A and B are shown apart, each in its own frame.
Chain A
Amino acid sequence: MPTQKLTVAEIQSLYEKHAPALAAYACCCGLDFASAEDVVQQVFVKFLRPGDPAPRSPLAYAYRSVRNASMNLRRDRRHEIELPESETWLVRTSGKPEEALALQQVLRELPPEQQETVFLRIWSGMTLQEIADATATPLNTVASRYRYALEKLRVLLK
C-alpha cells in the first residue's frame, strides 16, 4: 500500500543506515560488490522518482527490490564466466578474512526468505515483529524462518 512520499533527507538517512546491509544482501544473492552497490543505488534513486508512490515499508521494499534486481542481473550475466569467490562483503574487525568468506558462503545456501530475515534481524537491527510488519508476513512465520536459518547456519558453520 503506498504512503506519503519520503523526503530526500529521509531517503539519504535510510541509505546511510541500511545500504551496507543491502549491498551485502545483494552479494549474498550472487552479485560482486561493485554491482551490489550499483543495485542498491538504483533502488534508492527509484525512491526519489517524483511519480512513484512511497511503499508502505521502504526497508522491506528495498530488500525485495535488491533481491529481484540481483536475480535479474545474475540471469543477464549467466553466460559470463564467474570468478572464484574471493571478495568479502562482510568484514570483521578481529579475525581472519577467511572467516568472513566462510560465513558468506554459508549465507548463500539459505533460501531467499531466510536470508532476508537474517539480514533484517542481524544487520538491519530489526525485531521479529518489525520484520513481520515490514514483510507483511505473520510473526510466527518470521520467527520460524529465523529459527530455521539459525539452525542451518549452526550446522553449516561447524
Chain B
Amino acid sequence: MINNHDPLERYLSEFQPRPVRKLVVPPQPVTPWLRRLAAAAVLVLATGISVWLANHRNTSAPKIAIAQPQSTAPVPPFKELGALALSKLAIENSSAFDSYLLNQSRYVLPNPQGEQSTLRILVAQ
C-alpha cells in the first residue's frame, strides 16, 4: 500500500488485513418528507370524514316535530261584577252577559265541596 524505503515499513506492508464480510445495508427507513406527506394525508382524510359525517347526520336525522302552542284568543282580564250589575247586564245585553259568564268560567273552577255544588246536585239526582 505504501511505497517507501524503510525496510520495516516494507515488511509491514507485506501483511494484509484479513478480508471481511460484505456490508449489510439495512433497509432505509421512510424519508421524513414522505412521513410528513402521509401525516398530512391522514389529517385531510380524517377531517373530510368528520365533515361528511356531520353533514350526513344533519340531513338524515328525523326531524322532531315541535308542538307549537296553539294561539288562543287573548283572555280579557276578569272583573267580578256584583249580582245587581249582572242582572242589569243580562237584561240589557244578553250577548255581553254570555261572554262574561264564559270568561268567568275560565277563572273560576266549580267547587265540589260547597253545599250547592254542581257535583253534589248531580250525585243527589
Measured CB to CB, the residues of A under 8 A from B are: 8, 11-12, 15-16, 19-21, 23-24, 33, 37, 40-41, 44-45, 48, 50, 88-95, 100, 103, 118, 121-125, 150, 153-154, 157
Chain B residue nearest in CB terms to A24: B17
A81 nearest CB across to chain B (Å): 24
A100-B24 Cα distance, complex, nearest whole Å: 28
Q: Check if B29 is an interface residue, CB within 8 A of chain A.
A: yes
Given contacts A122-B9, A150-B9, whether A37 and B20 have CB atoms under 8 Å apart is yes
Interface size for chain B: under 10, 10 to 19, 20 to 34, or 35 or more residues?
Answer: 20 to 34
CA distance A94 to B19 in the complex (A): 17
Q: Is the CB of A23 within 8 A of B17?
A: yes
- Which A residues touch B16, using CB under 8 A? 20, 90-93, 123
Question: With A150-B6, A153-B8 in contact, do A24 and B31 touch (Cβ < 8 Å)?
Answer: no
Subset of 19 A-B contacts with CB under 8 Å: A16-B23, A19-B20, A20-B17, A20-B20, A33-B18, A37-B21, A41-B23, A44-B23, A48-B28, A50-B31, A89-B17, A90-B15, A90-B17, A91-B17, A118-B12, A122-B2, A123-B17, A150-B8, A150-B9
A122 pairs with B1, CB closer than 8 A: yes
A88 to B17, CA, bound (A): 9
Overall SS of chain B's interface:
loop
Q: Contact at B17–A21, with CB atoms within 8 Å?
A: yes
Report if B122 contacts A (CB, 8 A): no
Pair B26/A40 contact, Cβ less than 8 Å: no
Cβ of B80 under 8 Å from chain A: no
Q: Is B111 an interface residue (CB 8 A)?
A: no
Which residue in A23, A88, A122 is a CB contact (below 8 Å) of B12?
Answer: A122
CB-contact partner of A48 in B8, B15, B25, under 8 A = B25
Is B13 at the interface (CB under 8 A from chain A)?
yes
The distance in angstroms between the C-alpha atoms of A90 and B14, with both chains bound, is 10
**Are A41 and B24 within 8 A (Cβ)?**
yes
Q: Closest CB-CB distance, B72 to chain A, in whole Å?
A: 77
